[in-house]
Amino acid sequence: MLKPNANYGNLKESYLFYHIAQKTRAYLEEHPGAHLYRMGIGDVSLPLAPAVIRALHEAVDDQAGKASFHGYMPECGAPFLRETIAGYYQKRGVSLAADEVFVSSGASDELGDLLDLFDRSDRALIMEPAYPAYVDANVMAGREILHLPSGPENQFLPLPDNAPEAELIYLCSPNNPTGAAYNREQLEQWVRRANETGAVILFDAAYEAFIEEDLPHSIFEIPGARTCAVEVCSLSKTAGFTGTRLGYTVIPKDLERGGLNLNAMWVRNRTTKTNGVSYILQKGGAAVFTEEGQKQVRENIRVYKENARVLMEALDEAGIRYWGGRNAPYIWMACPAGMGSWEFFDLLLNQIQVVGTPGEGFGACGKGFFRFSTFGDPADTREAADSLLKLLKK
Ligand code: PLP
């Protein structure tokens, strides 16, 4: 008889989003037609940039002509897009060869697939609160997980000093859910730790485009990272590709462990396990990095940042402590008056029809905190912020 992967039995029920959906549905059944302010989910609300749409249309037309048609694309990504992304890094002083950049169909897929490169016995250290997929992908692989909790005492930016040793280190900066972002000196500490212990850092840069302070956008801005880090990034939040799907991963050729080269291993993996990302999407993705595309995606990010500003203003006025909002599309607040995350969730839903995300869904240390996404509609966000202020000042 076939033996299924028994590790799936160790997964915790995805209680968080199921429970949010259930509570929201129950509220709507009791209050038919009520308008909900949905600030829970990290999905974008603005459409793709016009430069991207034009490139997608042109690529569809290419597929209609015999001379311009493309069949299978190179498994690791089209050279035109790999070069374009390397050029994007170069603008921040990071030199990458085009074949150190791998085109992916999104960061989530990649964060799961990359685990193929590592032995089951490698322990995964995960900074928490965290994007839930880090934990679950490692549980599925049967890997031991070491939780690295953070809190207000370290501004939700844990450092290696107090961290147990592990072979795989997950860092997400700017962070989902806390919005906290590491500075250079802090990332230098992590790079030093990884090089000293032979660990590999999996650096999730999905929100790099939201950074407005003088902070690193990439782990490869840190000297020494080429020998200890892999970076995963995505156009989902940068350019509204959540439903279109495109991302990229950087694996430097200097990254070797146990006599094996991780860049070469990933080439072998991709050429075996994928047939590449569609030509049409890669053309659309390349348009993000043109001067026109950058201007347009930055305009969308500006709208989300204005949402964040409106919410932060309300929280400031209410005297609530919060993190994030400046370098990330998330605001992470301490629940008022020692309330639990779910208690606060119920209060917001029932009193002001705002749906956010209870912090404990991102790890045990998220208890007593609450996440707002700032990807919503600006008018909705303004109304929600007004109601939130009134409620919190009561
Ligand atoms: N990494 C982080 C930290 C995220 O918050 C998300 C999505 O919310 C992802 C990765 C997944 O991105 P993608 O849409 O490219 O799969």
User: Residue type for 312, please?
Assistant: M
Helices (H), 31-106: 50-62, 79-90
Helices 50-62 + 291-318 axis angle, to 10: 140
Q: Which atom of ligand 1 is nearest to the CA of 42?
A: 8
Q: Which residue, by CA, sits nearest to atom 16 of ligand 1?
A: 108
* Dihedral angle, C-alpha 152, 156, 162, 167, nearest 10 °: 160
Q: Which residue, by CA, sits nearest to atom 8 of ligand 1?
A: 42
Q: Which atom of ligand 1 is nearest to the CA of 110?
A: 16
* Dihedral angle, C-alpha 126, 130, 133, 135, nearest 10 °: 40
pLDDT in tens, 121-140: 999 999 999 999 999 999 99
Cα(336) to centroid(ligand 1), Å: 29
**Residue 329's pLDDT band (boundaries 50, 70, 90)?**
very high
pLDDT in tens, 292-323: 999 999 999 999 999 999 999 999 999 999 99
Structure tokens at 68: 């311009």
Nearest to 235 by CA among 361, 139, 61, 110: 110
User: Residue type for 100, please?
Assistant: E
- pLDDT for 393: 87
Q: Which residue, by CA, sits nearest to atom 5 of ligand 1?
A: 176
pLDDT in tens, 58-86: 999 999 999 999 999 999 999 999 999 99
Q: How many CB atoms lie within 10 A of CB 106?
A: 20
Q: Mean pLDDT across the stretch 284-297?
A: 98
Q: Which atom of ligand 1 is nearest to the CA of 207?
A: 3
Q: Which residues of 345-371 are buried (b: 16+ CB within 10 A; e: fewer)?
A: bebbbeebbbbbbbbbbbbebbebbbb
Q: Mean pLDDT across the stretch 259-276?
A: 98
Q: Which residue, by CA, sits nearest to atom 1 of ligand 1?
A: 206
Start-to-end Cα distance in the chain: 62
Q: Which atom of ligand 1 is nearest to the CA of 107?
A: 15
Question: Whole-number mean pLDDT of the chain?
Answer: 96
Q: Mean pLDDT across the stretch 33-54?
A: 95
Cα(45) to centroid(ligand 1), Å: 15
- pLDDT for 162: 84
Nearest to 187 by CA among 154, 216, 150, 228: 216
Strand-pair category, 124-128 with 168-172: parallel
Q: Mean pLDDT across the stretch 161-167?
A: 95
User: Residue type for 233, please?
Assistant: C
Pocket of ligand 1 (CB under 6 A): 42, 106-108, 131, 172, 176, 204, 206, 234, 236, 242, 247
**Residue 39's pLDDT band (boundaries 50, 70, 90)?**
very high
Q: Which atom of ligand 1 is nearest to the CA of 242?
A: 14
Q: Which atom of ligand 1 is nearest to the CA of 104?
A: 15
Cα(148) to centroid(ligand 1), Å: 20
- pLDDT for 394: 77
Cα(315) to centroid(ligand 1), Å: 26
Sequence-distant (6+) residues with CB within 8 A of 51 are 287, 288, 290, 292, 293, 296
Cα(61) to centroid(ligand 1), Å: 30
Pocket test of ligand 1: the residue of 182, 237, 277, 373 to mutate, having most ligand atoms within 8 Å of its CB, is 237
Cα(184) to centroid(ligand 1), Å: 23
